[in-house]
Chain A
Amino acid sequence: MAEKFLEIRGLHAAIDGKEILKGLDLQVNKGEIHVILGPNGSGKSTLMNLIMGHPKYEITAGSIAFEGEDLTTLKTYERARRGLFLSFQNPEEIPGITVENLLRTAKKSIDGENIKIMAFKKSLEKTMATLKMDESYASRYMNVGFSGGEKKRNEILQMMMINPKLAMLDETDSGLDVDAVQIVSAGVKHFHTKENSCLIITHNTKILEHLKVDHVHILMDGKIIKHGDAALIDEISENGFLHLK
């Protein structure tokens, strides 16, 4: 039987009193790749931020559990330490903190032990090479002066280095050129094993071409209105969302 990772039941959530999620159910099992499609403003990013514990959003009803544990009372960093990861749609620029410093601190925080510097450096170099990132990026400040594509690659770099159980990718492919999409896609493929899961929000089906998508969900107006397999992606590409209303 499939091992449950993420389990969301009847989730309602609001920001500044405005309800955005209106009774959402979702289950992601270990080893699966899920894709969420939906028009702008349907609540996709809200869902991911909520799973990660963004303080701006308020859960008004329902539950979120990860590996059977209630997530809603956990702080964001505790969720990350349980194995959750979010690749941000608009990654923050943080002056004075280098990519390497952030990764070292993150690894130490999540793995709870002192990391071996040489092994860490080697693994960082190798992962950056996979993503075709120049190694000079390791000593640059987080996302400061990075192009849109570089920021997204930096997110994937963190995902691969941290190696979470559940990686959530919020439009990681948006605003990227064809080559960059290929690199990001290859990174996700490299990362994904039957031991971990991906939850992907995208508008661009290119990123999915080399991935074996297990489930597709259509999110509209705060609810999942349709489930399906990979074939649903092509259907939406052709017909859009409107006919589903």
Chain B
Amino acid sequence: MDKKKTFVEDIERSLYDIKNEDRYSYKANQGLTEDIVRAISKEKNDPDWMLDFRLRSLEVYNNTALPSWGPALDELDMDHIVTYVRPDTTMKGDWKEVPEDIKNTFDRLGIPQAEKESLAGVGAQYDSEVVYHSIKEDLVKQGVVYTDMESALRDYESMVKEYFMQLVTPKDHKFVALHGAVWSGGSFVYVPPGVHVDIPLQSYFRLNSPGAGQFEHTLIIVDKEASLHFIEGCSAPKYNVTNLHAGCVELYVKEGARLRYSTIENWSRNMLNLNTKRALVDKDGLIEWVSGSFGSKISMLYPRSILRGEHARAEFTGVTFAAKGQTLDTGAAVIHAAPYTSSNISTRSISKDGGVVVYRGAIKVAPNAHHSKSSVNCESLMLDDISRSDTLPVMDILNDEVDIGHEAKIGRISDEAIFYLMSRGISEEEAKAMIVRGFVEPIAKELPLEYAVEMNNLVNLELEGTMG
């Protein structure tokens, strides 16, 4: 009997794997010392308070142990990580002025194209600094600020000082302490009260330098009754040495404001992705997270929403896909810190070829947060017997007048469902692909269009030795 073999394809990585020559105007020495931190701060022309902040963070880093839970991080050797690589260009407002190889990289990733078609502003970071930034004129006129963090620290210093690493503090864990010490790059967004940014802004983070770390800081403030959709994309070519990403995202959603924050992370398989994201939501505000985790060797990522005003809401929609050699430990946390707050978490994960996915979630309801609601739904699908999937939800409910629901499903593709589709004339391979596509469909439809297409390409089929 002829044997048909089928599999759900890996992400097509060739596009991301094109490497450029490692050129830079400044590159820190490998490792993490006070001298290196001082050198980065000097290179970046930090104000004194920022240098102090970096040095205090370094001290916290040195005095903090690695997390006692989650994936093993033994291979992380900070002595061999370069924490700062300034590309050999300054930030431009015109793609024509961006060095050609860097521009070509972003062209291949579709950024200038998307900018023309569907974005109101773009930031493009290459290694440690942003090399291109743009924002539509009418947004500037309405007082919207969208720029890189280095410029923000110069031009909006008081606002940065008020918010920077106040929501995520260096003491929270070892890798935010590291971030506080060596951060560079990232985006700063301010949307004034009542302004609705109808078209998304997108920042793209590209790490080209082998053995480097990327520590971009994203700080977004959406003021009262304003709204914004922000998209973040990340990728890197594959190297044989370990790269590190320890970014930090702080989102402030003020009274009655709405923020949708979409991320598609497609790092290469030599990347340790230890990222920290948090949102603070005031009365009647809404944070919507859309998160796709496809790349990296190890990811630890659990965006946290703190609902501190009455009727504040958080929505989290996530999809994680782990293939061979990947451990993607992702999830979401919500803290209900005020009455009448609500949260909704919905995730789908897929593991194949020995990949490991973990959903790690936490819901906390403070004693005063009566009439809060939370609903969690996590589903995972293992495509073979060697892959793994775990669900680790934590609930800490300190008020009785709440409505909390949790649903978790871990499974394989059902043989009965395959039989059913085959009885309708659909081949076994197509049946499996339809089921996998169907599994992620509720999430895929939330992704920005170009990423949804990428997601669907992912679930394509390959037939081998079909006819005997």
Contact = CB atoms under 8 A, between A and B. Distances in A.
Given A85-B423, A96-B439, A97-B435, A77 B417 contact: no
B91 interface: no
Give the most central of B422, B430, B442: most A CB within 10 Å.
B422
A61 B431 CA distance: 30
A11 B338 CA distance: 68
B422 A75 contact: yes
B380 to A, nearest CB: 13
Given A52-B423, A92-B417, A102-B424, A109 B430 contact: yes
B428 interface: yes
Contacts of B461: none
Contact of A77 (B1, B426, B437, B439): B426
B441 A109 contact: no
A141 interface: yes
B415 interface: yes
Interface residues of A, number: 29
Interface string B389-419: 0000000000000000000000000111101
B193 to A, nearest CB: 39
A76 interface: yes
Given A96-B437, A96-B438, A86 B415 contact: no
B420 A109 contact: no
B425 A80 contact: yes
Of B416, B417, B420, B437, which is in contact with the most chain A CB atoms at under 10 Å from its CB? B420
A91 B419 CA distance: 11
A55 interface: yes
B139 interface: no
A77 B442 CA distance: 27
A172 interface: no
Contacts of B1: 73
Interface in B155-209: none
Contacts of A95: 438-439, 441-442
Nearest to B379: A95
Contacts of A102: 421, 424, 434
B426 A109 contact: yes
B420 A88 contact: yes
A105 B419 contact: no
A97 B434 contact: yes
Nearest to B438: A96
A55 B419 CA distance: 8
Contacts of B20: none
A133 interface: no
A110 B434 contact: no
Contact of A80 (B415, B422, B440, B441): B422
Interface of B: 1, 414-417, 419-428, 430-431, 434-435, 437-442
Given A80-B425, A97-B438, 20 more contacts: A54-B419, A73-B1, A75-B427, A75-B428, A77-B423, A77-B424, A77-B431, A80-B423, A80-B426, A88-B420, A94-B420, A94-B438, A96-B437, A96-B439, A96-B440, A96-B442, A102-B434, A105-B430, A109-B425, A162-B425
Interface of A: 52-55, 73, 75-77, 79-81, 85-86, 88, 91-92, 94-97, 101-102, 105-106, 109-110, 141, 158, 162
